[in-house]
Structure 1
Amino acid sequence: MLFDVLPQTAYIFILIFSRIGTLFMLMPGFSERAVSVRMRLILAVMVTLVFFPMVSSNYGSIPVTLVGIVAAMVKEMLIAAVLGLSVKFIMAALQIASTIIAFQLGLSFAMGPDPSTGQQTVQLNTFMSTLAITLIFVTNLHYLMIAAMYDSYEMFPVNQMLPLGDIAEYATQILGDAFIVGLKLSSPFIAYGLVFYFGLGLLSRLMPQLQVFFIAMPANILVGTVLFMMLLVSMMSWYMGHIEAVLGRFIVR
């Protein structure tokens, strides 16, 4: 009897781990390069053990072929990718916003490695990304991520086909929302840059012998930095609310 139960238990555990493990590889905060792969693996296994008694009844018997087992695993990872990439795209909106802000403030030349991806990016993006991840854990939004993991079993039942058309439409929508969020976050600095550089252009026409742009660069950085400090709290509060709204789409109320 024990040998009859073990294969079924192992099959269900692997499928749950496929979904949870993929989510931990994509979710912000858990998927950062600073978090070791071993730590992510331990967290994924622990959450899988917690979810096992709650969601194991949703799974059926073991498929008779290896292709059926692989197809079930791919389906679980695809469901996790929909949830994980949704939040990943919203985090990418922060990179868009920080790049625009750094360009408007004259700080686009200050480059450094991104702790999330390891690629070169503006230092302002490193600061805002680190702050966003910190706020996710401070405001307990990581609990909302775990709740979305659990409710994904109700939103995407195991024994039903995936709505690929709806998933493709949602992916297009969330990608467009990322650009909109990035523009909204940087919109005060776009307006500031237009006014500031319009004034410099007008001044350069009135005093063509003066190197206006060279002299005004320190003032641009100073005023822009002060404006950034004044708006940072409002920007990040609104941004955290948007992340909560995205995760709320996967919460079954």
Structure 2
Amino acid sequence: MPAVFSVTSEQLGIWMVAFLWPFVRMLALISTAPIFSEAAVPRTAKVGLAALLAIAIAPTLGALPAVPLVSAGGFWILIQQVLIGAAMGFSMRLVFAMVQAAGEYAGLQMGLSFASFFDPTSGGTTMVLARLLNALAMLLFLAFDGHLMLIMTLAESFHALPIADAPLAAGGWFLLVTAGSQIFSGGLMLALPLIATLLTINLAMGILNRVSPQFSIFSVGFPVTLLAGMFLLQLLMQYLAPFLAPRFAAGFPFMLEFLQGLRR
């Protein structure tokens, strides 16, 4: 007689829980993390990648909470995994937001505030210079194997913060909020040489306009600031990778520190 393979409803529920809860956390991170969340990446690819990672990581999770999937406790665990994955992806996006802020600051000083277009990633209008720096940051992220380290950190997150029905502590959320200040400080630090130089040029042209009233600052000022900004931007490009490399490297331990804060 051939062997009969039978699956009980209890076993099926255990298998669904072991797959669904990690899958939700991974899909939330992939939907918010840099590179993976880009609009150019098809949704089917995002879902497929999350499902593949969930299948690979599920056997290493150990014991899961004995909570039925279709219950208030199971729904609460699903919500927790969505929040955890989205917050992890957002924490990594802080570095890219820093680069975009630097592009916004520099674009305003160069007179490129009108050079903007709709960005499907952010859902709003973004300056061309900010979009250019963001694209360069993504290329550097790939060159530093950041996408692989992000997947590795995602796998480690299930050991740093296992799936449980316990409430999340507020320390991790406070840590994430305070880290948002790096967007403004880091963006200003990256664009500070360009901003200071252009501000000096504008100050010099203002003094020249007062000394020589026939000097038309409106017809000369814009080309001068634009050319000077392009020249300075070219000089700053060689420092972009050394500036972003330690911040990319610090982003992954911060994600684990954030998860540890949720356990306290």
TM above 0.5, one fold?
A: yes
Give the corresponding residue for 1:170.
175
Letter of the structure 2 residue corresponding to residue 9 of structure 1:
W
Give the corresponding residue for 2:59.
53
Give the corresponding residue for 1:88.
93
- 1:14 is displaced (CA, Å) by 0.6
In structure 1, runs of 5+ residues without a counterpart are none
- Alignment root-mean-square deviation, CA: 1.9
Letter of the structure 2 residue corresponding to residue 43 of structure 1:
L
Aligned-partner Cα distance in 2 for 1:64–1:180:
44
Whether contact under 8 Å (2:104, 2:127) holds in the other structure is: yes
Give the corresponding residue for 2:109.
104
2:148 is equivalent to residue 146 of structure 1: no
2:206 is equivalent to residue 188 of structure 1: no
Normalising by structure 2, we get a TM-score of 0.88
Letter of the structure 1 residue corresponding to residue 21 of structure 2:
L
Give the corresponding residue for 1:63.
68
The size of the alignment, in residue pairs, is 251
Give the corresponding residue for 1:225.
230
Letter of the structure 1 residue corresponding to residue 35 of structure 2:
G
Aligned-partner Cα distance in 2 for 1:160–1:62:
8
Give the corresponding residue for 2:202.
197
Aligned partner of residue 120 in structure 1, secondary structure = strand
Aligned-partner Cα distance in 2 for 1:93–1:106:
20
2:23 is equivalent to residue 17 of structure 1: yes
When residues 144 and 227 of structure 1 are mapped into structure 2, their CA distance, relative to the original with a 3 A threshold, is: same
In structure 2, runs of 5+ residues without a counterpart are 1-5, 258-264
Aligned counterpart in structure 1 of residue 40 of structure 2, from 34, 56, 76 = 34
Give the corresponding residue for 2:262.
none
Deviations 1:54-104 (A, max 9, x none): 22x141223386111100111111211221111123322222111111111
Aligned-partner Cα distance in 1 for 2:248–2:165:
28
Bigger Cα displacement from structure 2, 67-76 vs 233-242: 233-242
- 1:166 is displaced (CA, Å) by 0.8
Letter of the structure 2 residue corresponding to residue 17 of structure 1:
F
Aligned-partner Cα distance in 1 for 2:43–2:242:
30
Deviations 1:26-73 (A, max 9, x none): 110000111111111111111111111122x14122338611110011
